[in-house]
A and B are shown apart, each in its own frame.
Chain A
Amino acid sequence: MAKISALKQPNTFCALDGYDPGKFYCELLGDSNQPDATIAPLWQCLETSELSILKQRASDAERELFNLGITFTVYTEKDAIDRILPFDVIPRVISASVWAKVEAGVKQRVKALNLFLHDIYHERHILNDGIVPAQLVLSNSCYRPEMIGLDLPCGTYIHINGTDIVRDRQGEMLVLEDNGRSPSGVSYVVENRHLMQRAFPDLMQGMNIRPVSDYGKRLLGKLREVAPTGVDDPCVVLLSPGIYNSAYFEHVFLAREMGVTLVEGGDLFVENDRVFAHTINGLVQVDVVYRRINDDYLDPTAFNPTSMLGVPGLLRAVQRGRVTLANAIGTGVADDKAIYAYVPRIIRYYLNEDPILASVETHICGEPGGLAHTLANLDRLVLKPVGESGGYGIVIGPKSSKSELEDAAAKLRADPGNFISQPMIELSVSPTLVEQGARARHVDLRPYAITGRDTWVLPGGLTRVALKEGSLIVNSSQGGGTKDTWVLAGDQ
């Protein structure tokens, strides 16, 4: 591998010494597997950074995250413990041309999913035409009959979307999953950048990185676009489950960056199908609610009656068009792992275009062919329960023992409709600072798209990294960390 050895100081152990991506696609070195001109300043800086000093700076940076309260909360039986999401100082870099494709692909996907949601809650053309099995949609637990026939402002259901993307051994970007309910993590995109700017300005020098810090203002703009008809200066709030929610920091961050009030269910009140907030001067009407509470808990009179987090009567206010929820109720059916397999067809159906971003080949175990193929190849496939999130319940065939596979097969036979399977993707790697120095660790990417009248994609995204050697599971709940994600500005 190329080294700029002239710059390297003798007798010191530098961060990149011994880095080897092996057979995987390296995010930093790219197609040529060589540091090219676009990343030269960063590469040189890492090449000449002494490992012990870089590690010390990294641990200082993590302590700063803790003091700033950029944390999520883990609950044990006894305590609530604030933890930081481990932060890796070596950024993930995306070139302008790769990003252009990601951006266009994400926009296309979000557009198609919004059209799909509108359709399945109205005329159901796509079901009647037999493109997507009606039963898969209509009997899906995330399908909400309460939304049938409602016309939403701008036809937008998914206002905030996170698309999970992985890169295979050839460097091809593949969509792994859509997150159209209440995707989290965007606060880390912005806070990671701020941390980088404060703590590692030297790494950023000479790099032409597109900014991410205007996300809040952009989001507020989109949310104002979808205010109920006739409201010129909408009152926007962020609805959080409150301080005991593990993502509370993100809610704080978003409210702060948008400059809107963070409310809890108890702060809101519905009367005459209008939503109000309790202030020291009485009730103030609310027009747009960015809610970070799942459908089930939104309104105890309509959904889960034991919910303490929601607002009684909120659904009726939505149905009367008096308030806009972002995201809309019932979007979960579009990001369901079972529907995922049909998204390329959904894109062609509504947009008459080929998907810009490829998907991972998916076998639907609810279908006889899919089940047979999955059972026959379980040791080579990744088996995923359709209803779970956070990486729970996933069985990675090639990494499982024989008894684990038998176990999985039994569960699969008992409830085939609850599973899909996919080939194992050899996720790309990125140099990541660990005890011995920079080592190859697997990463994914979650770009965020926000939609009002149209869609804007944040030029960056959350890069999650599986910190354990060889691990493919990047979820924070399973020992994943994050990296700053640098989208490079093009020549134009």
Chain B
Amino acid sequence: MRLLSRNAEALFWLARYLERGASLARVIEMQSSFGAHDQEQGWSWLLALHSDEERFKERFEVSSRNIATFYVTDLSNPGSVRSSIHWARENARALRPFIPIEMWVQLNAFHGSVEALAADDISLSQLPRTCAVIRAGCLAQIGIAEGTLFRDEGYQFFKLGLLVERADQTSRLLDVKYAHAMTNSKTRDLSDDFVFWSTILRTAAAYQVFHRLEAKGADLERVSRFLIFNPSHPRSLGFCVREISESLHTLRHSFRLSRANKCLEECEVMMEGLHDMGRNTELAAHLHEFNNWVQTSLGTLTDTLSSAFFTRSRPGALEAEAAQSQSQSQGQTQTQTQSQSSVPAPGLQKQDQNQS
């Protein structure tokens, strides 16, 4: 039988949660290793990165310790590392008949170790090490998938989840750091600038390669161009969007899924938008606007994927017979809402809405 819609959705979200967990762990690892001299105030940008200021301030005082707790171990925060890994595991659990046992065993044991994190593990001195372990755990799962997951349609949905999430994270990082750079540009000196840009590059796993390629060093223009357009850096927007397009083409042509057409259209709009932005000589001036557009486009792409492949409501599911089944579609839609809530995707919808 071909891939169940429910399994396609779970593969997409499994990958998104893993990528999100790895990304967030890297952000906190870099912040606690390289940004600590900024002290309390320096941690607030994490709240901006995920548009969480209001939600956070309802419950906590702003302090580095509280922010770290909120993003690492707080299960009531759907955007925390622990929540991401929890939901990755719930999706993997639904996928157990489908994914290789090796994937489940690693994620299950890794989830156990995250659940066992104690207050000491997220003290500011232990935080970099803890986050490094978490990042490695998420990446190990992605690596096991790379090495063992059968390359059928399901793999493409996994890959799409990784890429969409990664593009989203890179875009958010650029946007927030851009705002930060703008507000502080007059008070900073050059050495501060070097630390600032280095931290951003490290957060995007791009520090080494950037300095290998860019003899002139880091500034807003060069860092932005690198993270948006570099065709070979796996976390750049250009790279992610190109790979998304490839995955969609594979679904369309190798697996003959005509439902991929609409998603391909969305993807082409994004590629054109990136291309236009590449020719824009005043990139920095349009950066915020551009990032908003990127995040909205990724949201639209996800919605399109969802209605093309994941939806289990009756209309459109079997085009040839759609007309005669109007009366029955109602009951089914209800079932769908209920069953989808068993593997929910908390946080993301909320974040996307806030951004757009």
Whether A67 touches B109, Cβ cut-off 8 Å, given contacts A279-B5, A281-B259, A283-B318, is yes
Residues of B within 8 A of A308 (CB): 335, 338-339
The digit string for A267-289, where 1 denotes a CB below 8 A from any CB of B, is 10101000011111111100000
Residues of B within 8 A of A265 (CB): 335, 339
- Of B109, B309, B317, B339, which is within 8 A of A264 by CB? B339
- Of A256, A271, A277, which is within 8 A of B321 by CB? A271
The digit string for B317-356, where 1 denotes a CB below 8 A from any CB of A, is 1110100010010011001101110110000000000000
Interface residues on A, range: 35 or more
Q: Say yes or no: B317 contacts A283, CB within 8 Å.
A: yes
Whether A282 touches B319, Cβ cut-off 8 Å, given contacts A67-B109, A263-B4, A266-B6, is yes
Given A262-B97, A265-B335, A266-B312, list of 4 further CB < 8 A pairs? A67-B109, A269-B317, A280-B153, A312-B331
**Which of A9-17, A139-147, A236-244, A290-298 sits within the interface?**
A236-244
> CA–CA, A284 to B1, complex, Å?
7
- Of B4, B112, B328, which is within 8 A of A277 by CB? B4
> CA–CA, A69 to B335, complex, Å?
28
Residues of B within 8 A of A243 (CB): 90, 93-94, 342-343
A68 within 8 A of B: yes
Residues of A within 8 A of B96 (CB): 69, 249, 252, 256
Q: Say yes or no: A266 contacts B335, CB within 8 Å.
A: yes
Q: Say yes or no: A267 contacts B94, CB within 8 Å.
A: no
**Contact residues of A between 51 and 102, Cβ < 8 Å to B:** 67-69
Residues of A within 8 A of B336 (CB): 266
Residues of A within 8 A of B328 (CB): 271
The digit string for B121-143, where 1 denotes a CB below 8 A from any CB of A, is 00000000000000000000000
> CA–CA, A284 to B2, complex, Å?
8
Residue of B nearest to A236 (CB): B1
Between A and B, 20 residue pairs with Cβ closer than 8 Å are: A68-B104, A68-B105, A69-B96, A69-B104, A242-B342, A248-B93, A256-B97, A262-B97, A265-B339, A266-B335, A266-B336, A267-B6, A269-B314, A277-B4, A278-B4, A279-B4, A280-B259, A281-B2, A283-B318, A312-B332
B271 within 8 A of A: no
Distance in Å: Cβ of A446 to nearest Cβ of chain B: 24
Q: Say yes or no: B2 contacts A280, CB within 8 Å.
A: yes
> CA–CA, A267 to B5, complex, Å?
8
Q: Say yes or no: A278 contacts B342, CB within 8 Å.
A: no
Q: Say yes or no: A67 contacts B105, CB within 8 Å.
A: yes
A261 within 8 A of B: yes
A235 within 8 A of B: yes
B8 within 8 A of A: yes
Q: Which secondary structure dominates where chain B touches chain A? A: helix
The digit string for A245-257, where 1 denotes a CB below 8 A from any CB of B, is 0001101100110
Give the 8 A-B residue pairs with the shortest CB-CB distance, closest first. A266-B339, A255-B97, A279-B2, A262-B97, A252-B96, A278-B312, A283-B318, A280-B309
Residues of B within 8 A of A267 (CB): 4-6, 312, 339
Residues of A within 8 A of B314 (CB): 269
Residues of B within 8 A of A251 (CB): 97
Whether A280 touches B335, Cβ cut-off 8 Å, given contacts A69-B104, A255-B97, is no
> CA–CA, A131 to B312, complex, Å?
50
> CA–CA, A256 to B336, complex, Å?
25
Residue of A nearest to B154 (CB): A280
Q: Say yes or no: B338 contacts A279, CB within 8 Å.
A: no
- Of A244, A271, A277, A312, which is within 8 A of B1 by CB? A277
Q: Say yes or no: B1 contacts A235, CB within 8 Å.
A: yes
Residue of A nearest to B318 (CB): A283
**Contact residues of B between 82 and 135, Cβ < 8 Å to A:** 90, 93-94, 96-97, 101, 104-105, 108-109, 112
Distance in Å: Cβ of B264 to nearest Cβ of chain A: 15
The digit string for A299-327, where 1 denotes a CB below 8 A from any CB of B, is 00000000010001000000000000000
Q: Say yes or no: B1 contacts A280, CB within 8 Å.
A: no
> CA–CA, A232 to B332, complex, Å?
30
Residue of B nearest to A254 (CB): B97
> CA–CA, A67 to B102, complex, Å?
10
> CA–CA, A283 to B313, complex, Å?
11
Residues of A within 8 A of B36 (CB): none
B179 within 8 A of A: no
Distance in Å: Cβ of B109 to nearest Cβ of chain A: 5
B195 within 8 A of A: no
Residues of A within 8 A of B259 (CB): 280-281
Distance in Å: Cβ of B6 to nearest Cβ of chain A: 5
Whether A279 touches B3, Cβ cut-off 8 Å, given contacts A256-B97, A266-B312, is yes
B257 within 8 A of A: yes
- Of B3, B104, B325, B338, which is within 8 A of A266 by CB? B338
Residues of A within 8 A of B3 (CB): 279-280
Q: Say yes or no: A261 contacts B101, CB within 8 Å.
A: no
**Contact residues of A between 205 and 244, Cβ < 8 Å to B:** 235, 237-238, 242-244
> CA–CA, A212 to B309, complex, Å?
39
Residue of A nearest to B256 (CB): A281
Residues of A within 8 A of B90 (CB): 243
Distance in Å: Cβ of B8 to nearest Cβ of chain A: 5
Residues of B within 8 A of A68 (CB): 101, 104-105, 108
Residues of B within 8 A of A255 (CB): 97
Residues of B within 8 A of A282 (CB): 317-319
Distance in Å: Cβ of A77 to nearest Cβ of chain B: 17
Residue of A nearest to B109 (CB): A67
Q: Say yes or no: B332 contacts A269, CB within 8 Å.
A: yes
Whether A69 touches B6, Cβ cut-off 8 Å, given contacts A264-B339, A266-B335, A308-B338, is no
Residues of B within 8 A of A283 (CB): 317-318
The digit string for B250-288, where 1 denotes a CB below 8 A from any CB of A, is 000000010100000000000000000000000000000
- Of B5, B93, B112, B153, which is within 8 A of A278 by CB? B5
Distance in Å: Cβ of B50 to nearest Cβ of chain A: 27
> CA–CA, A78 to B338, complex, Å?
21
- Of A262, A269, A281, which is within 8 A of B257 by CB? A281
> CA–CA, A251 to B98, complex, Å?
12
Residues of A within 8 A of B6 (CB): 264, 266-267, 278
| Most chain B beta-carbon neighbours within 10 Å: one of A67, A244, A278, A308 | A278
**Contact residues of B between 21 and 69, Cβ < 8 Å to A:** none
Q: Say yes or no: A237 contacts B339, CB within 8 Å.
A: no
> CA–CA, A68 to B101, complex, Å?
8
> CA–CA, A283 to B5, complex, Å?
10
Distance in Å: Cβ of B258 to nearest Cβ of chain A: 9
Distance in Å: Cβ of A261 to nearest Cβ of chain B: 5
Q: Say yes or no: A280 contacts B97, CB within 8 Å.
A: no
> CA–CA, A363 to B257, complex, Å?
63
